[in-house]
A and B are shown apart, each in its own frame.
Chain A
Amino acid sequence: MSTANLQLDSFEELAMPLFDQLYNFAHWLTRNREEAEDLVQETYAKALKGFGSFQLGTNFRAWMYRILRNTFLTSRTGLKVTMTVPIDPEEDGADLAVERDTPETYLLEQLNRELLHSAMDELPVHSREILLLCEVEEMSYQEIAETLSVPIGTVMSRLSRARKTLSERLRPQMQRGAVTTITKGTNYGL
C-alpha cells in the first residue's frame, strides 16, 4: 500500500469518529442544515489536504475543531456573525463568581428543551461555541484553548460569561415555567 493511501487510511480512521459531533457543532454555529453540511465537507477536505502537516500523537480532535471553526469564521455567515459581536473584555475577572438562584435549578429538569435551544441559539457565537466545547464535547480547558487559539485564562472568563448570560436569559423563562408547573399541580389537586 502506498504512503499516500496509508495516510488516507489513518486520516479516515481518526476523522470519521468525530463526524457526528463536528456536524452538531457546525449546525450550532451556522444554525442551518445546508450551511452545516457545507462547513463539515469543507473541513474534511481541508483537513485531508493538510493532514501531512498534522503531527501524529498531538490532539487531533482539537485540530479538526480548529479547522472547522476557522473555516466558519472566514465564511460569509461567520464574518457576518463575528462583525456583529461586540469585542470581549477578555480578562474580566469580575464575572468569575456567578450567583445562581437555587430554586431555579430544580426547574431546569422540567425546562422545555426548546426554550433552552432557543436561549443557546440567541447567545453570541463566542459564548455558544465555548459552552458547546466544554459541556457537550467535554473538552478540557487546554483543549478548548488549542481549538480557539486563545490562552486558558480567556477560556475561563469566556466560559464564565457564557454561563452567566445563558442563566440570565433562561431566568424569565424558568419563572414562567414555575408558574405553569404550579398551576398544573393545582389542577391535578382539584
Chain B
Amino acid sequence: MVCESWKAKLDTYIDNELPQAEMYMVDRHVRSCHSCSTGTLARVQMKRTIQLAGRRFTPSTQFRKRVQLSIAPKPQRNLGRVWMFAAAAAFILVIAALTSTYVETRRAGGQVFSEIADLHVATLASSTPVDVISTDRHTVKPWFQGKIPFAFNLPELQNSEFSLLGGRMTYLEQTPGAHLIYDVRKHHISVFVFQERSLAARLDENSLSPKELPFNMETWSQGGLRYFVIGDTSAADIDHLAKLFKTAGS
C-alpha cells in the first residue's frame, strides 16, 4: 500500500517524463523496492514489445516514388537564356518587391476563402452532407461538444425563412471547426465557425473581397470566433443569416 503513490508514477518514469528531481527520487525508490522494480521491469518489457510489434507496415517502393514525384520541385529551365531576360526580370523583381506584402496577404486570405468555398461545394456534393441531422438547434449545438475546442450559439430561426438542416465537423488549415447547413427557398447555405486565433495569420478580411468568389459570402469575427456564411443564394439572404448569427453571438 505504501507503494501506491510511487506506482502511479511508474508509467511517467519509464517514459522519462518526470521532472529531474522526481526522476531521481523514483529511481532511488525503484532500486530499493522489489514490488516497484518488478513493476518497472514489466512496463519496460511491454514498452519494448509494443515498439517492436508496432513497426509493422512498410510502404511499397512504387508508392514512395509516386508521392515523392508529387511533391518534388519541377525541373528548372535551361538557365543559358536567362541573361537575355535580365532587364525584364529586374523590372519584375522591383515591382514584386513593392507589392509582395500586399500580394501575399491577398493570396493567403484568398486561399482561405477558396477553401471555404471548396468545403461548401464538397459537402453539398457528398451523399452524407451532415453528421447530425436535425432542425433543432438544441440538438445540433450539443452534438459538437467534445468534438471542437470551443462553443458557439445558434440563432433562433422562428419568423425567418431559414431552416437548419444539420451540422458536421470540418477542418480548415488543420483547425477543427463547426460546419452548419441551412436551407432557404431550396438554396443551401453553409455557416462555418472556427477559432479566430487559428486563422488570424492567414486572413485579412480587408485584403480581399469575398465577392471575388462564385458564391455570396460574408465573414466576420466575434467573441474570438471567425464566422463564414457562404451560399449561392442572394447577398441579402447571406446578410440576413449573418445578422441572425451576430445577434445570437452577442
Q: Please report A residues at the B interface, Cβ cutoff 8 Å.
A: 1, 4-5, 8-9, 11-12, 15-16, 19-20, 23-24, 27-28, 33, 36-37, 40-41, 44-46, 48, 50, 52-53, 63, 66-67, 70, 73-74, 79, 83, 87, 96-102, 104-106, 108-109, 111, 113, 116-117, 120, 131-132, 134-136, 138, 140-141, 149, 156, 159-160, 163, 166-167
Q: Is B171 an interface residue (CB 8 A)?
A: yes
Give bound CA distance, A41 to B8, whole Å: 41
Q: Is B50 an interface residue (CB 8 A)?
A: yes
* CB nearest neighbor in B for A23: B59
Chief secondary structure at chain B's binding surface: helix
Give bound CA distance, A106 to B68, whole Å: 43
Are A24 and B46 touching (Cβ within 8 A)? no
11 A-B interface contacts by CB (under 8 A)? A24-B54, A24-B55, A24-B56, A27-B57, A37-B59, A66-B174, A96-B11, A102-B41, A134-B15, A159-B15, A160-B11
Chain A residues near B39: list those with CB within 8 A. Answer: 99-100, 102
Taking the nearest CB of chain A, how far is it from the CB of B32, in angstroms? 17
Chain B residues near A167: list those with CB within 8 A. Answer: 46
* CB nearest neighbor in B for A128: B54
Chain A residues near B45: list those with CB within 8 A. Answer: 105-106, 108-109
Are B201 and A19 touching (Cβ within 8 A)? no
Given A19-B67, A50-B173, A141-B15, CB of A5 within 8 Å of CB of B53: no
Taking the nearest CB of chain A, how far is it from the CB of B196, in angstroms? 15
Are A41 and B170 touching (Cβ within 8 A)? no
Are A100 and B43 touching (Cβ within 8 A)? yes
Chief secondary structure at chain A's binding surface: helix
Are B67 and A41 touching (Cβ within 8 A)? yes
Interface residues of B, count at CB 8 A: 49
Give bound CA distance, A165 to B58, whole Å: 26
Are B131 and A135 touching (Cβ within 8 A)? no
Taking the nearest CB of chain B, how far is it from the CB of A79, in angstroms? 7
Are A12 and B68 touching (Cβ within 8 A)? yes
Chain B residues near A83: list those with CB within 8 A. Answer: 131
* CB nearest neighbor in B for A142: B17
Give bound CA distance, A23 to B56, whole Å: 10
Taking the nearest CB of chain B, how far is it from the CB of A114, in angstroms? 9
Give bound CA distance, A67 to B174, whole Å: 6
Using a CB-CB cutoff of 8 Å, which residues 53-104 of chain B contact chain A?
A: 53-59, 63-64, 66-68, 70-74, 76
* CB nearest neighbor in A for B79: A1
Chain A residues near B7: list those with CB within 8 A. Answer: 97-99
Taking the nearest CB of chain A, how far is it from the CB of B209, in angstroms? 22
Give bound CA distance, A161 to B38, whole Å: 20
Chain A residues near B43: list those with CB within 8 A. Answer: 100, 163
Chain B residues near A156: list those with CB within 8 A. Answer: 11-12
Are A28 and B41 touching (Cβ within 8 A)? no
Give bound CA distance, A138 to B170, whole Å: 29
Are B73 and A9 touching (Cβ within 8 A)? yes
Chain B residues near A46: list those with CB within 8 A. Answer: 174
Give bound CA distance, A12 to B45, whole Å: 36
Chain A residues near B57: list those with CB within 8 A. Answer: 23-24, 27-28, 33, 36
Contact of A163 among B11, B41, B131 (CB under 8 A): B11
Query: Quick one: CB contact mask for B34-53 with A, threshold 8 Å, 1 for yes?
Result: 00001101110111011111
Most buried by A among B39, B47, B59, B108: B59
* CB nearest neighbor in A for B6: A97
Are A100 and B46 touching (Cβ within 8 A)? yes
Are A20 and B59 touching (Cβ within 8 A)? yes
Give bound CA distance, A53 to B76, whole Å: 25
Chain B residues near A20: list those with CB within 8 A. Answer: 58-59
Q: Is B169 an interface residue (CB 8 A)?
A: yes
Given A96-B8, A108-B49, A120-B50, CB of A44 within 8 Å of CB of B42: no
Query: Apart from A70-B176, A100-B46, A135-B50, what are 14 other A-B pairs with CB-CB below 8 Å?
Result: A28-B56, A36-B57, A41-B66, A46-B174, A48-B71, A53-B202, A98-B11, A108-B46, A117-B56, A136-B55, A156-B12, A159-B11, A163-B11, A166-B46
